[in-house]
Amino acid sequence: MSEKDFGIRILLNGAFGQMGRVVSSLIESGYMDTVLAACVDVSLGSSANALGSGKTSDFGGGRNCASVSCNSALSGKAPDFSNGRKTCLTEVRADASVKPVESFNEAHSRIECGTADAAVESVEDDSDPARTFFCSRLEDVLVDFDVIIDFSHHSVTSELLKFAIERKKPLVIATTGQTEDEIALIHEASRKIPVFFASNYSIGVATLIRLAKIAASALPDADIEIVETHHNRKIDAPSGTALTLFDAVKSVRTGAVAKLGRSGHARRERDEVGIHSLRLANVVGIHEVFVTTAAEQLVLRHEAYSREVFARGALDAAMFLKDSEPGLYSMSDMLERPER
């Protein structure tokens, strides 16, 4: 199948995490004619750690890549190459326990096995765009692809940027919590390749950020507070989106100062913008901006009902980057592109 027959080929890092599986499932559904060319998970040391198993998937004594004509790991199980004899993937199915297989052929899931050398050689044949290659390390990805999407962990930012520059491929960074050093590396890399970096890939949130900026400008004397709510497994607080909302306010109120939570005995300062974090059950994501004067209150609110909204946005960003020049792009750039 030629490139014109499908959209873009995605290299997905963080493939076995929750968001990675959402992205894989969306691609499998045919969204924007995208194709999952390869899956990697180098975050926190191994793909298995991303699954919470605590085990390292070393893919069996140096066997680091194999092919599967299946576009999603719906069972949430990473391929296991550790059976010691052959480079066999484990069966990846939502309705079955994971088990080593010698051969498996079904409508949407075919698992191929062979010797270690044969498996690695097979990744050089990317003639079948329905085939996905699962690899344990970035350097083992030999199949061609168009754009990298990262839904893993900010700690691998440096490694991913280096890989993207070496391969001369665009990179969509869909993680938050980057350190100042990692952000500096992102800016530096964007001089060489297209990099899309956003705290939130929802079009609705991008609109919320614009509205927050408008409201802060229209009501210059209003007190502004930001509240974000997420599931109880989210690690970073406040959320990257809450910080982006603050940046939007600060862009029109240059004296604004972020106040992370409130405690003690002190009056609210005029330039403070309170940022508050709630962690509750399985909440996907809620962001609220309260803009309040003595006479009125404006509340801007966005709630994500499904993580699919972030997956769609990341794939939209990948499509945006495919023909873009080197540079650092955000959701506002994508919204402003004329053909959108």
Query: Which residue has tokens 């003639």?
Result: 127
The rounded distance, in Å, linking the Cα atoms of 311 and 36 is: 13
For the chain, the farthest-separated pair of C-alpha atoms sits apart, in whole angstroms, at: 74
Q: Are 325 and 280 in contact (CB under 8 A)?
A: no
The rounded distance, in Å, linking the Cα atoms of 71 and 208 is: 33
Q: Are 155 and 83 in contact (CB under 8 A)?
A: no
Query: Which residue has tokens 């999603």?
Result: 72
In sequence order, what are the residues at sequence separation of 6 or more whose Cβ sits closer than 8 angstroms to the Cβ of residue 66? Answer: 59, 79, 81, 87, 88, 89, 112, 113, 119, 122, 123, 133, 134
Amino acid at 20: G
The residues carrying an active-site annotation are 230, 234
